Chains A and B, each alone.
Chain A
Amino acid sequence: MKVSIELKNVVKRFGKVTALDNVTVTFGGNKIYGLLGRNGAGKTTLLSIITSRLFADEGEVLVDGEPARENDRAMRKIYMMGEATLYPENMRVGDVFRWTREFYPEFSLDYAFSLADSFKLDCRKKVKSLSTGYTSILKNIVALSSNAEYTLLDEPVLGLDANHRDMFYRLVIEKYAERQNTIVLSTHLIEEVSEVIEDVVIIDGGKIIFDGSRADLLAHGYSVLGSTELVNRYAEGRTVIGSESLGGMKKAYIWGKPEQDGVPDGLELSSVDLQRLFIQLTNARQN
């Protein structure tokens, strides 16, 4: 049996806008994924189609090999945390936990209450009375307590302060180490997740522009620094995804593997971090 969420040639249109343009991608293998994209790139649409909150116009979604559409068994394997608050707003925090357990039998009530305690979330409060930050915290606690095989977190740290974000990443790693499940972190905050994730899916303008390991992505991009003339000569015949100039100096970002030796004098080759590479890749497509 396949253990994965597969999207095959998925197309989603909203009126004249194509939000997902022939997307084929697989999440599985018990890894932590980063689903990275700028605002409006299609991250939420993609996750909503996986969880049948939206339906694709074309293509299909398979969960462990079975079509996901109108398939309760498949849906119970996936928990999605997103911007929408799906609990009745008069419900109290503690009841949200008990309610979710009805749909997710692996849900751990003890764990949920202990996390609420660590985050100082009052379980007697009504959902509608929570601040933006605490609403996010509640949703994250529910997601992490669900113990679903696939946990999809859409912009999970929205509204969380630095201390709570730090706590959140620690909990994600601990949960992953304990359950060995598949976790998808969908975010535009690349720097924060760059060491947490193992695989990367970059979506831009509704298209998947990279799908592979983080290590592989980093090995494919580098920068070259030197005088404008030398850098321009070096860049000829290579894939330049961006550049910056200061005075007579130029830095070009190159897509490809750098040569081990034979670097011309006066040029300096450096590795590029995930965020910088992401910015260059997603800028390159727009221009």
Chain B
Amino acid sequence: MINFTGDRPIFLQVSESIEDGILSGVYPEESQIPSTTEIAASCRINPATALKGISLLVEEGIIYKKRGLGMFVVSGAKEKIREKRKREFYEKYVVQLIDEAKKLGFSEAEITYLIRRGFEGEH
């Protein structure tokens, strides 16, 4: 089940949640993902929106269509998603982190310290 938030288009949230499923192993490579209708009905969204989210993943080579059977996860999709998310990591997390840090007057050293603390698990 997908929990939507209000800040981004729903079709993007559909494709991201399927990616999350592939990363976490809910949808192993070469396994079938839910159909457009199943996604639309379970999320109460228009089938065209669900299709848009699925099509995005097809374009990116993460899933593919087996004629008459449905949509399947490409072998190597997990690695592909990981690579893509790593590329997005800087823009999505680092830039925002620095932005907020500057607002609050943190120095670079303080932020580095906090990141190290986070990695060591001392919250």
Contact = CB atoms under 8 A, between A and B. Distances in A.
Interface of A: 32, 166, 169-170, 173-174, 176-178, 195-198, 273
19 contacts: A166-B44, A170-B44, A173-B41, A173-B45, A173-B46, A173-B47, A174-B41, A176-B47, A177-B37, A177-B47, A195-B4, A195-B43, A195-B46, A195-B49, A196-B46, A197-B46, A198-B46, A198-B48, A273-B6
A173 B48 contact: no
B45 A196 contact: yes
Contact of A195 (B37, B41, B42, B45): B45
B38 to A, nearest CB: 9
B12 interface: no
B74 interface: no
B23 interface: no
Nearest to B10: A195
B40 interface: yes
A177 B44 contact: no
Contact of B41 (A32, A170, A197): A170
Nearest to A166: B44
Given A195-B49, A197-B46, A177 B10 contact: no
A32 B45 CA distance: 11
Given A170-B42, A196-B46, A198-B48, 18 more contacts: A166-B44, A173-B37, A173-B40, A173-B41, A173-B45, A174-B41, A177-B40, A177-B41, A178-B37, A195-B4, A195-B44, A195-B45, A195-B46, A195-B49, A196-B44, A196-B45, A198-B46, A273-B6
B118 to A, nearest CB: 29
Classify the secondary structure of B's interface with A. Answer: helix
A187 to B, nearest CB: 14
B104 to A, nearest CB: 19
Interface string B15-39: 0000000000000000000001100
Given A195-B10, A273-B6, A169 B44 contact: yes
Interface in B36-65: 36-37, 40-49
Contacts of B45: 173, 195-196
B110 to A, nearest CB: 27
Nearest to B8: A271
A173 B48 CA distance: 11
A105 to B, nearest CB: 25
A30 to B, nearest CB: 10
B53 to A, nearest CB: 12
A174 B37 contact: yes
Contacts of A176: 47
A-B pairs with lowest CB-CB distance, top 8: A177-B37, A195-B45, A169-B44, A173-B41, A174-B41, A198-B46, A177-B47, A173-B40
A159 B90 CA distance: 49
Nearest to A165: B44
Q: Which of B6, B42, B44, B47 gathers the greatest number of chain A CB atoms within 10 Å?
A: B44
B103 to A, nearest CB: 14
A14 B43 CA distance: 42
